[in-house]
Chain A
Amino acid sequence: MTNIQRKNHDRYMLLATVPLIACGTVLYSTRVLLLCAVAMLTAKAVDVAVSMARHEEFDYTDHSSELSAVIFCLMLPVNIPVYIVVVSVLMAVLVGKHFFGGKDVYPFNLAALAMCCAAVNWQDKVFVAVTPFSKVDFWSGYTTGATVTTAGIVKNGGVPAHDTLNLLLGNHPGSMGSDFVLVILVTGLFLIITKKITWHIPVAFLATCTAIALAFPRVYGFPRLESLQLELLNGVVLFTALFMLNEPTTTPTNPKAKIIYGIMAGALGMAFRYFGGFEFGSCFAVLLVNTMDGVIERFASGEDKAAENSKAEKQPEEKPGKKVYQAHPKIKKDTLDIIGEAEDSIDEVLYSTRTISIDEILRAEAELNKSRKDGK
């Protein structure tokens, strides 16, 4: 993906999050805007600080951090304290992006990383849902409408009492923006039609999730289709498929690889949901699949096979009867001291931060030439 394509992708994705932010603002509170703004500002501030520390020119066209910050924010409940958003975004952008080389080379999805960071640190505050239209304090986030998430109810073996329409509209206790199924579907279609994302990963991911949910329903004593509905229409499954799994830096480019990537993400995501300790297993699955991105790409494009074939072609044939045996030097006891000294000097070089000046190199070179001329 070229720079311009990446820039456009980020802008379109940011644009696609606007309807979700708007829905969150209407259903919950204007605090959604505050949290998104704080997350975006933190991400930008980290980018600027790192480029200043590295003495590099700041790239104004890179919006990947802000996009990830907004996506992460939309998965949180509206009553989340601001410092959790700041620390999680800071950790994700600093550690996940800049420690691994920065723009276009980071291996992990930043939004998933931020979510995992928040989930591990503040489990009791992250896995909370807020009832729509309940009062939420703008600054502190205090609310009386805090309750268990729909995904949490299903995880604990219960059955949430929400009808299909409310599940589709996101009119049930949930996160700020990842539960508005219809809006997510429309924005996803918009992104696919405008070719900002491809269909491969979302379709493979959702098909795998559907197959697993149908084969092994979690809600016992419930019709399979209704159980499937509960699985897919809550707990950021659709949001993950369309917004998180399509980040160009961390996903493969080959269509076949994309399908394998989607299937693996779906299977792992469901495994995390079924057997994991957290309700939002998809984020952990995304991180795990990110580590296999390169392998999947090579496997799907057949690069490994091609490399092996070319290696076999290049290898020269062995000539029979002309083997050269290298004599093993006999180690004497006295030589051990010499080896020890050499090891010491290697240690010194390894742990020394002294630089060798050009004068020293030139002098050493002159001495070497002189000794060669003398025939030593």
Chain B
Amino acid sequence: MKKPDYSLLYNNWDDTVRRRKVFLSNPVFIKGLALAPLVVAGTTVKNGLILCIAIICLLTPARFATNLITRRMSVPLKTFFYPFVSAIIFAFVYYYMYRFLGSQVLMLGVYLPILIVDPLIVKNFEKTRKEEALYSIINGLRNTAGFAVACLIISALREFLAFGTVAGFKILKAGILPMAQYSFGGFLIIGILCAVWAQLVKNYKYKVEVEALHNERFADNID
């Protein structure tokens, strides 16, 4: 496996953080976005997958479409348009999701439509600076990937703790912590996961720093 260039990473750390949305700036674990649907609806892997599909179909297209439509608009109008566009896209997404997945979609209740106004999707309109169209797609995809990873980890862990199963496959006789299926249990588990994730990021950053300094000293000695 190719060793990453730690000096380069260290020197462009802010840029690296902005790009690596799956690990270094995960929208759920680090930025704390999209917590409401995950806490309430992300109880099983099946529910998690439905949430992932909704976000995949919603986040990047909404961001890109709004970017194109609101290019010449003033900020207040743009603010109004963002959820409006995501609501229109969601109407199509919901229709097709219901057609293919059936009544399972209804199990998520209001927490699927609520994604339209979730900070994960609407946070972008707070920014007054115009965004490049291509950049909006790339950034949307990065955010989607970050959310999908977090959503699957959380829902799998909650299902395992609450029912002793993962994606329906029985692993334990019964759940170790049945309260994981409730909202307060979800809050607790997400909180613990966030803390663990932040510690992993901190450890990685420390490793990058140490390696970069080591490389610099090594280069100085050679000179």
Residues of A within 8 A of B (CB): 83, 87, 91, 95, 99, 117, 120-122, 336-337, 339-341, 343-344, 348, 351-355
Q: Is chain A's interface secondary structure helix, strand, loop, or mixed overall?
A: helix
Band of interface residues on B: 20 to 34
Answer whether residue B128 sits at the interface, using C-beta atoms and an 8 A cutoff.
yes
Interface digits, B120-141 against A, CB 8 Å rule (1 contact, 0 not)?
0000001111100000000000
CA gap between A229 and B130 in the complex, in Å: 73
CA gap between A22 and B188 in the complex, in Å: 36
Q: Is chain B's interface secondary structure helix, strand, loop, or mixed overall?
A: helix
The one of B128, B182, B191 in contact with A337, judged by C-beta atoms closer than 8 angstroms, is: B128
The one of A91, A122, A353 in contact with B201, judged by C-beta atoms closer than 8 angstroms, is: A353
Q: Which residues of chain B come closer than 8 Å to A99, judged between CB atoms? A: 191
Given contacts A120-B179, A121-B177, A121-B178, contact A353 B129 (CB under 8 A): no
CA gap between A99 and B129 in the complex, in Å: 39
CA gap between A87 and B180 in the complex, in Å: 13
CA gap between A353 and B24 in the complex, in Å: 9
Q: Which residues of chain B come closer than 8 Å to A340, judged between CB atoms? A: 127-130
Given contacts A95-B188, A120-B179, A351-B25, contact A344 B127 (CB under 8 A): yes
Q: Which residues of chain B come closer than 8 Å to A336, judged between CB atoms? A: 75, 128-129
In the complex, what residue of chain A is closest to B175 when comparing beta carbons? Answer: A121
Tell me whether B13 and A354 are in contact (CB under 8 A).
yes
Most buried by A among B14, B130, B176, B191: B14
CA gap between A340 and B24 in the complex, in Å: 23
Answer whether residue B31 sits at the interface, using C-beta atoms and an 8 A cutoff.
yes
Give the number of A-B contacts (CB < 8 Å): 55
CA gap between A320 and B201 in the complex, in Å: 57
Contact residues of B between 199 and 223, Cβ < 8 Å to A? 201-202, 205, 209
Tell me whether A343 and B129 are in contact (CB under 8 A).
yes
Answer whether residue B30 sits at the interface, using C-beta atoms and an 8 A cutoff.
yes
Answer whether residue B17 sits at the interface, using C-beta atoms and an 8 A cutoff.
yes
Tell me whether B179 and A341 are in contact (CB under 8 A).
no
Tell me whether A351 and B30 are in contact (CB under 8 A).
yes
Q: Which residues of chain A come closer than 8 Å to B209, judged between CB atoms? A: 355
Offer 23 A-B interface pairs, CB within 8 angstroms, sorted by A: A91-B177, A95-B188, A117-B179, A120-B179, A121-B177, A336-B129, A337-B128, A337-B130, A339-B128, A340-B129, A343-B126, A344-B127, A344-B129, A348-B17, A351-B18, A351-B25, A352-B13, A352-B14, A352-B17, A353-B201, A353-B205, A354-B17, A354-B205
Given contacts A337-B129, A348-B18, A354-B205, contact A87 B31 (CB under 8 A): no
Q: Which residues of chain B come closer than 8 Å to A83, judged between CB atoms? A: 176
Tell me whether A351 and B31 are in contact (CB under 8 A).
yes
Most buried by B among A91, A341, A343, A351: A351
Contact residues of B between 42 and 99, Cβ < 8 Å to A? 75
Tell me whether B17 and A351 are in contact (CB under 8 A).
yes
Nearest-CB distance from B138 to chain A (Å)? 15
Closest 8 CB pairs of A and B: A340-B129, A354-B13, A340-B128, A336-B128, A121-B178, A121-B179, A352-B14, A348-B14
CA gap between A121 and B174 in the complex, in Å: 12
Q: Which residues of chain A come closer than 8 Å to B13, judged between CB atoms? A: 352-354
Tell me whether B130 and A354 are in contact (CB under 8 A).
no
Nearest-CB distance from A233 to chain B (Å)? 31
CA gap between A353 and B31 in the complex, in Å: 12
Q: Which residues of chain B come closer than 8 Å to A341, judged between CB atoms? A: 129
Nearest-CB distance from A303 to chain B (Å)? 32
Nearest-CB distance from A126 to chain B (Å)? 12
CA gap between A121 and B161 in the complex, in Å: 11
Known: A337-B129, A351-B30. 16 other contacts (CB 8 A): A99-B191, A120-B178, A120-B179, A121-B177, A336-B75, A336-B129, A339-B129, A340-B128, A348-B14, A348-B18, A351-B25, A351-B31, A353-B13, A353-B201, A354-B13, A354-B14
Nearest-CB distance from B130 to chain A (Å)? 7
CA gap between A117 and B176 in the complex, in Å: 12
Nearest-CB distance from A360 to chain B (Å)? 12
Most buried by A among B13, B25, B30, B128: B128
CA gap between A348 and B126 in the complex, in Å: 15
Most buried by B among A95, A99, A339, A353: A353
Nearest-CB distance from A324 to chain B (Å)? 30
CA gap between A355 and B205 in the complex, in Å: 10
Q: Which residues of chain B come closer than 8 Å to A91, judged between CB atoms? A: 177
Q: Which residues of chain A come closer than 8 Å to B25, judged between CB atoms? A: 351
CA gap between A259 and B191 in the complex, in Å: 35
Q: Which residues of chain B come closer than 8 Å to A339, judged between CB atoms? A: 128-129
Nearest-CB distance from A96 to chain B (Å)? 11
Given contacts A351-B17, A353-B205, A354-B17, contact A87 B176 (CB under 8 A): yes
The one of B17, B128, B130, B191 in contact with A343, judged by C-beta atoms closer than 8 angstroms, is: B128
Q: Which residues of chain B come closer than 8 Å to A337, judged between CB atoms? A: 128-130
Most buried by B among A122, A339, A354: A354
CA gap between A120 and B162 in the complex, in Å: 12
Q: Which residues of chain A come closer than 8 Å to B179, judged between CB atoms? A: 117, 120-121
Q: Which residues of chain B come closer than 8 Å to A87, judged between CB atoms? A: 176-177
Nearest-CB distance from A43 to chain B (Å)? 18
CA gap between A336 and B212 in the complex, in Å: 38
Contact residues of B between 1 and 47, Cβ < 8 Å to A? 13-14, 17-18, 24-25, 30-31
Nearest-CB distance from A211 to chain B (Å)? 32
CA gap between A122 and B126 in the complex, in Å: 45
